[in-house]
Structure formats: C-alpha cells, structure tokens
Amino acid sequence: MTIELPPAKSVLVNPSQEELRELVGRMPQATLTAFGNYNVTTNVTARSAGSTFVIADDGAHLSKPTMSRADYEPQVARQESHIADADMVLVEGYIGPPNSPMRRPARVYVESSHANLPAMQQQLYYPKDADWRADEALTVVYTPNLPAPGFPGDKLVTIDLDRWVTRVFGIDYFGESKMGGLRMWMEWAFQQGSLAMHAGAKMIPTAQGDKLGLIIGLSGTGKTTTTFTRQNDSLPVQDDIVALTEGGQSHATENGCFAKTFGLDPDDEPTIYGALSTPSSWLENVAVDERGVVDFSDDSYTANGRGTFPLAMIEHFDPAKLGKAHFLLILNANESIAPAVAKMPSIHHAVAYFMLGETKGTSAGGAEEAGKSLRVPGTNPFFMGHEHLQGERLGELLTTMPDFEVFVLNTGRVGGGKDVAGSKKVTIPHTSAAVKAIAEGTISWEGDPDFGYLVATEVPDFDDPELLQPRRLYERQGRGEEYTAAVERLKAERVAFLEGHVGLAPEVVDAVR
C-alpha cells in the first residue's frame, strides 16, 4: 500500500530538465558555474542519520531508531498542512531498468523552492512509462522549508514501510532524496529474497570473456572511483546500489550517478570529471568563486561536495544486461596492517569480512563519522533490519555461486596515517592494477599466517610489494612488535564485533580468530 499525495497550492508534474534549470536559476543559493551547470549550496551537507527513524510500534525486528505511529501521525499532519500552501514539484520514474524483475515505480514530491532536488533525482530515475503505477510507487515527500522542532538540528527523516513513504523535514541535502527511495527499495528487494548492496558495478573485458565486478564501500572510500576507473576498456554499469540474487544474477537501480567531488581530478577520474563539467550535470556544495570557476580541491565549506549526471552522458555498459556477477570487491579505507588486496578463501571468510565492513568514516556520514575508524556491516548504513541478516543472506547466495570470488581491497594506507613517517598510500593506480589482475586471474597468492585470507605475492603492474604484504613494511622499519600487537588487537576486536551479531554462524566468527 502506498499513499495519496497531499494537495498543494500548485504542482509542477514531471517538468523537463530545462524547466527545472529555470527554477534553480531563481534560487539565491544557486550559482551558475563556468562549466555552464548550477552549483547549489545547502545548509545541510551530509546525511542526517541521527534524525532518521523507522515508523514502528514494535521495533524488535529493526536495527535503526524507531518512532511510534502515534508520534508520527502529527508530523504527517504538519507536513500536509505545510504542503497545502506550498508550490511543489512531482517527479515520477522507476528504480530499476526496463524489463528488470526488480523494477519498482518511484517518485519524489518536493517544494519547488528547492528545484535542484527533483532535478538531480530525475537524472537518477529511469523514465516513467505507460505501465507506471502510483499505487506501487516508493514515495519521498520532501519539505526542506519545514523544520522539525524537538528533533536533532530541527531535522527529521521518517521511513514508513507499511505505506512505502519517506518524509523529509528541514533538510535541503540531495542525499536524503536519493536514499529515501533507494533505502525503501533495498528493504523491498530483501523481502524478495535478494541482497541489495551499497555497490557499484563494472564490466571488464578479459581474454576469458567479460567479467562483472561488484564494488561495495562506504561513501568516500573509493567505490565510485573504482567503478569508473578503466581496466581493459572496462565500462561502468552502476554507481551505488545493486541487488544480488540466487545464482549470482545482478540487478541495477539507477539511470545516473551521484558522485563525490572532493579531489576530483581529470587525470585520475576523467569520466566523472568530464560528466560533471558539462551544463547537463548538477553540483552541490562544490567551491565556486565569483567568476564561476569550480575548485574541486577546496573543502573549506565541506569535503562532501557532490554532483549528478545521467548515464547517457558517458560510455557505459547497459544496466539492463548485467547478468551474473563474477566477483565482489569490499573496499576498506584503512590505515594500519590491511593489505591492498586480499582474497577470501571460503564463504565463511567472505561473510566475516563483509560483516566487518572496516573503514575510515568520511564526510558523507557527517562530522560524527569523518576520520573515525568504523565497522559498518556490508559497508551499508541503509539496511534497516538486524545487520546479521545481511551476512546470512550473502552466505545463502554464495552457496548458489560456486565460481564467485570475494576480495577485500584497502584503499587507504599501510603503516599508519599520512602523519606517520614511512607510511604509504594505496593509490588509484595501485587499486586499478589489483582490479585488472583480479578480473584476469593473474595474481599469485599465498596464505597469510595471521588472518587466514590470501595475500598477493605478485600483481602485474603493481610496483610496491609492501602494500601487498604489510608485514614487510613493518619489519623493514623495525616495527615488527607493533605489527604483532596490531594483529592480536584486530583479531580480538573482530571476534568481539562478530559475536555481537547474534545469528551469524559460528564458523563465520571462527574465520577471524
């Protein structure tokens, strides 16, 4: 069951990008850049996780904060009363490409004073067609101009899964529109027996045939960069959310890309840079000077600058033809003893490291996460059920995928943070070489005596063996005892973390002992 949209003072239904561009041009917080696109500066610069609640009177089956329906209904009434006097924009489309069994109608209903939000969302939806049904639509009702007093920062996001509607109050950050629909879709997909992952996807040609890789990671840890960096003329397929079903079949969600822009460089990331430097794209919270010149390296306002563009703007593989995936890359931006690439030797290891989701937080998760060591199961902060269910589902699916391989890639550093003398960065070319070799099957492996996974002894075009086997770096620098202590600490922390997720098979916990 879904909701009827509340009546408004006026509603602009499915406007063109040009019509939305005209509305955005009137926004005082919008700046026309030298690229010819608009950059909008928002008051809220990241997801508002602390203000997000799932509507449930009994939240025992949920891992996220809940709000009772009795407390929720007055907020609905406030929002609908506000909308009655507001000019609104309605954008309708699909999550999922044509002919996909995981396709679902979706829509966003938002105040026209923030027209960049529907403009960006429209680029990510697949277009509405004659079969589109409002009674099946995942709905986001979005009122940036209506604060929510009494909630953190006067911001509020409510997720009503009984009616498949997300409501957003007092927030002007586009990420809440994008994830509002996708978060509900992920729950719906889980109910269908699949596992929707916070993942990009790319198709890599090899001598053995095309290889489809899925790439999961927290925002800002290199997921989009890894997806778009080319190996063997590889093509991106999907940027952010992909569902995995029995037998390894994969299903796409979005018709565009929502890319992080801080540090965006035309040499390292030419595809994304090229798309975001055209009039057809949209920018959010990017530094723009008085002449309209964009500086992607300026994080004085926020490091969580973003941009959207449709897939049609770039060369890409057809998301409707994903087929079976061949491997999964779990990206962790660590700064200690994690190797640049490790191979999981069993399903239990794969589930364990999927559940650990170890990384450094970024600005995408807000100030409370940026720069902190995190463990986020599945690197997916949007899963609403108990987190062990993700690991269980992955394990179930992997039993139907005998040739599927799982790897963990460290996209951060080895030997410590950048302030630690002698530490080393895992660069984009390093990660790209590892991805290419994974697709081609050209990495030489050996067992790691401490962690049980496989580490590389040789990767073609990878110039630093100390990034492949961090023990070498620590021993060369006379830090062997530090390495041994880090091993023991990590193993203990990992066991404790996984034991806290009741429901995981004991063999999964044993994989990290």
Q: Which of 359, 261, 361, 258 is nearest to 304 (CA)?
A: 261
- pLDDT per residue as tens digits for the range 274-287: 999 999 999 999 99
Q: Is the dihedral of CA 131, 135, 137, 141 positive or negative?
A: positive
Six-digit token string for 138: 């995942």
In degrees and rounded to multiples of 5, residue 225 shows phi and psi of: -60, -45
- Range list of β-strands (E), 369-466: 373-375, 405-410, 413-414, 424-425, 444-447, 454-458
- pLDDT per residue as tens digits for the range 383-412: 999 999 999 999 999 999 999 999 999 999
Residue type, 251: H
How far is 251 from 442, CA to CA, in rounded Å? 28
Dihedral in degrees, nearest 10, Cα atoms 397, 399, 402, 407? 60
Q: Are 378 and 351 in contact (CB under 8 A)?
A: no
How far is 38 from 408, CA to CA, in rounded Å? 37
Give the N- to C-terminal CA distance of the chain in Å, as an integer.
46
What pTM, to 2 d.p., does this model score?
0.94
Domains and CATH numbers, the chain: 10-27+43-192 (3.40.449.10), 197-254+320-510 (3.90.228.20)
- Range list of β-strands (E), 125-210: 126-127, 138-143, 156-160, 165-169, 195-197, 199-204
Six-digit token string for 101: 């069994």
In degrees and rounded to multiples of 5, residue 460 shows phi and psi of: -55, 135
- Range list of β-strands (E), 285-325: 287-288, 294-295, 306-310
What pLDDT does 436 receive?
98
Structure letter (DSSP) for residue 198: S
| pLDDT band at residue 127 using 50, 70 and 90 as cut-offs | very high
Is pLDDT of 374 > 80? Answer: yes
Six-digit token string for 469: 């086997």
Six-digit token string for 388: 């062990």
Structure letter (DSSP) for residue 162: T
| pLDDT band at residue 371 using 50, 70 and 90 as cut-offs | low
What pLDDT does 368 receive?
55
- Range list of β-strands (E), 85-183: 87-95, 104-111, 126-127, 138-143, 156-160, 165-169
What pLDDT does 163 receive?
97
Q: Mutual orientation of helices 388-398 and 347-356 as an angle, nearest 10°? A: 150
Pairing of strands 87-95, 104-111: antiparallel
| pLDDT band at residue 39 using 50, 70 and 90 as cut-offs | very high
What pLDDT does 3 receive?
87
- pLDDT per residue as tens digits for the range 462-472: 999 999 999 99
What pLDDT does 362 receive?
54
What pLDDT does 427 receive?
96
Is pLDDT of 229 > 90? Answer: yes
**Mean pLDDT for all residues in the chain:** 95
Q: What is the mean pLDDT of residues 335-354?
A: 97
Q: What is the mean pLDDT of residues 87-115?
A: 97
Q: Are 201 and 212 in contact (CB under 8 A)?
A: yes
pLDDT above 90: percentage of residues in the chain: 93
In degrees and rounded to multiples of 5, residue 31 shows phi and psi of: -125, 130
How far is 48 from 426, CA to CA, in rounded Å? 30
| pLDDT band at residue 370 using 50, 70 and 90 as cut-offs | low
- pLDDT per residue as tens digits for the range 50-78: 999 999 999 989 999 999 999 999 999 99
